[in-house]
Amino acid sequence: MNNIHLNHIPVLTKEVIKSLNIKKNGTYIDCTFGFGGHSKKILEHLNDRGTLYAIDKDPYSINIAKKICDNRFHIIPGNFSKILKNFQRNNTKKIDGILLDLGMSSMQLNNPNRGFSFLLNGPLDMRMNPKVGIKASEWLMKSDVKSITKVLYEFGEERFAKKIAIKIVQQNKIKPITTTIELSNLIKKIVPKNKKHPATRTFQAIRIHINQELNELREVLKYALKILTYKGRLSVISFHSLEDRIVKKFILKNSKPPFIPTGIGINEIQLSNLKQITLKIIDKVIPTKIEINTNPRARSAILRISEKKNINEQ
């Protein structure tokens, strides 16, 4: 475990700090602590009255976070959607900025025991929290062709989803697929070689399904909007089109006034509520060529920045 995360470089660090428009005495939440690169930079911009909450459900990340000896910093284990829901329910203090970095950390990808990598051989697990839920291998074993095809197509946009699903089910009847390399080799026989590794989309899809990542994202955005203060910033880094689509749609939905057809019976209070625009679009940022050359995992990153508006501000 000691050398697994040494090469981790957080993506778009300068841009993230700028996007959060940090107040020195503000309160911030890093919903995806990971190896702590962004959290440590946020702390550098806070004074003694500032506060940073970090969230992660990965036990390895939590152990790293616990080593940060700083009274301004608090690590909270668990799913970020549930924790932000609890913030809304139990905290009167509003949040000045929320960060979501939806990418996998190199600590996760480079540890073969986690089962995320199609290049390193290890148990086919893929759980962000190895103590919760079922392993990817167990899910594949108990699923039929229709279920696997649906996941691979919807969450991986894999054109060969059905062929892969059929082969997985056939193979599991002969000898269960229990390792990453076994699954990777099976896929390589079906998916033609391209710029991406043939197993990229399938591994992404299974990981998203096992960890319910897209449902989590939809939930956390909803609660993030509720706990942000006026002019509080929401900064989200996504790494594939499925995530970015959800983030973009959420921001657009909450930054445009609703269409109200003429002739609809509606009172002034209802009309006022309908007209409330709760987000202002600030920017969309992608990595520079220099960053991509230094940190190749940044190549697909998109940072979307929005700001909470006053309910009466249009």
Asked whether residue 37 is marked as a ligand-binding residue, the answer is yes
Listing DSSP states for the chain in one string gives: -TTTTTT---TTHHHHHHHHT--TT-EEEES--TTSHHHHHHHHT--TT-EEEEEE--HHHHHHHTT---TTEEEEES-HHHHHHHHHHH--SPEEEEEEE-SPPHHHHT-GGG---SSS--BS---SSTTSS--HHHHHHH--HHHHHHHHHHHH--TTHHHHHHHHHHHHHHS---BHHHHHHHHHTTSPP-SS-TTHHHHHHHHHHHHTHHHHHHHHHHHHHHHEEEEEEEEEEE-SHHHHHHHHHHHHHTTSPPP--TT----HHHHHHHT---EEEEEEE---HHHHHH-GGGTT-EEEEEEEPPTT--
Rounded Cα distance, 36 and 78, in Å: 16
Asked whether residue 108 is marked as a ligand-binding residue, the answer is yes
**Residue 7: strand pairing partners:** none
Asked whether residue 122 is marked as a ligand-binding residue, the answer is no
Asked whether residue 80 is marked as a ligand-binding residue, the answer is yes
Two structure tokens written together for 131: 């103590």
Asked whether residue 38 is marked as a ligand-binding residue, the answer is yes
Rounded Cα distance, 272 and 206, in Å: 44
**Residue 51: strand pairing partners:** 27
Asked whether residue 56 is marked as a ligand-binding residue, the answer is yes
Asked whether residue 156 is marked as a ligand-binding residue, the answer is no
Dihedral, CA of residue 110, residue 111, residue 114 and residue 116, to nearest 10: 10
Binding-site residues: 36-38, 56, 80, 101, 108
Binding-site residues for S-adenosyl-L-methionine: 36-38, 56, 80, 101, 108
